[in-house]
Structure 1
Amino acid sequence: MNHADSPPPPSGRTPAFHGSSLELTGLSLAYGSFDVVRDVSFEVRPGSTTCVIGPSGSGKSTLLRGINRLHEPKSGEVLVAGEAASTMVPEKLRQRIGLVFQHFNLFPDHTALDNVALALWKVKGMPRAAARERAGRALAEVGLAERAGHRPRDLSGGQQQRVAIARALAMEPEVMLFDEATSALDPELVKGVLNLMAGLGERGMTMVVVTHEMGFARRAADQVVFMDEGEVVERGAPEALFERPQSPRLQRFLSEVL
């Protein structure tokens, strides 16, 4: 795995995160009678990065929402560090599994610091001073310490997405999910956010990343999962999938995107 293009961890810093394992077994999700995700199974090792690729409409985003029960599974199970997600209160589960959306969903009238701190005192019940202190550390993690007092309108799209990532990190999740986190950004802002995500993976965060950035998937992933029509068609190490695709569907997809 080559992370040469991503920034190294700050000097002297030990791995910051202690990601947990994630296992999907026979996970299926539906909208009414329409099955969007069918019988998906794969395992994500602690501290590793799995990239999920595939054509639009293949169920990738729905899969992420099923992992942290924003969309309740029709069948199957998600295990976090061996514990069944179906047995957890959803709000507690979402503290353990953070989700960063394509759109930033920031509160426009709150500063970057308060956008990050809000969930800490409202959801986790932290005292406000402690929540703001942790929020400040999370903003520093994503390189935005000097922008803590700025409101979203005064931040670039890339900076707003970094605030959204800091908000998820501040909850101290065991797993981070990213749903096309760069697709709403201008092209010149994409690389910085991708490098930030790669850096999180290098420092021990367990991540599942839905992405259309094939270069990132090839460079940063330990495992790539190719989905089409709601199913996992092929999965494996990035060099295997990108250089030696086995299924005609993956061969056709890569011929269109590479």
Structure 2
Amino acid sequence: MSDPTAPKVALVTGASRGIGHAIALALAARGFALFLAAEGTAEELAGAATACRASGAPDAVSAIFDLAAEGAAEAMVSAALARFGRLDVLVNNAGIRCRKPFGSFTRAEFRALLAVDLEAAFFASQAVLPAMRRQGGGRIIHIASQMGRVAAEENALYGAAKAALLQLTRNMAFELAKENIQVNSVSPGPIATQYNIESYGRMPGRTELMTSRVPAGRFGRPEEVAEAVAFLATCETGYIQGHDLLIDGGYTIH
């Protein structure tokens, strides 16, 4: 069993910017020590770790991992455990997108996207299980997407990967609940990340169209997704299992 007085430790992937960065800061503010992983620049990721320490994390370190590479997810978990000796929360946030009309995807694009968006989460989760079992439990949170539930143009590949991640969440929870390991997911809708702002900005009228489909009438903020993740990471109840928490401003209710 784990030491109840020790700081809890979270591993967050894709933590250098956007939603992942916001998740790291939210967990830091709640006293988690953090291992931050991303594929971006070391300077950007180190800056995220510095921001986490300033936000309340007792410790925060970072490392670059290409999660599309075979064995990278397992190596990442091993590095986090070597640094902290425990892992209480794993947040599988890293993801890539490939927007193209169906019929034009290549096998290379298919494999690259699934390697990061699905395979890395699968094998990182498997890799963390021995430690969580030794500790007497833990929490695994997948960052999925509303696109795993609804259809949209040029999203066949991304949507398929996120739908598979939702099913993985349910299956993992079904098997691991008896071991006090909670597995849930969070599905963001239209969020004002740098990627989305720049992507939609290249398509005239796209931002207005997306906003018109959201009952809340606006894009969400990365911090709003982070609050949902922090809730699942810290809530007192152990009875939330296999749940997908939509943070979409009501996009999928109509």
* Superposition TM-score tier, normalisation by shorter sequence: 0.3 to 0.5
- Report the structure, 1 or 2, having the larger strand content: 1
Give the TM-score normalised by the residue count of structure 1: 0.32
TM-score (norm 2): 0.32
Q: Which has the higher contact order (CA 8 A, sep 6+)?
A: 1
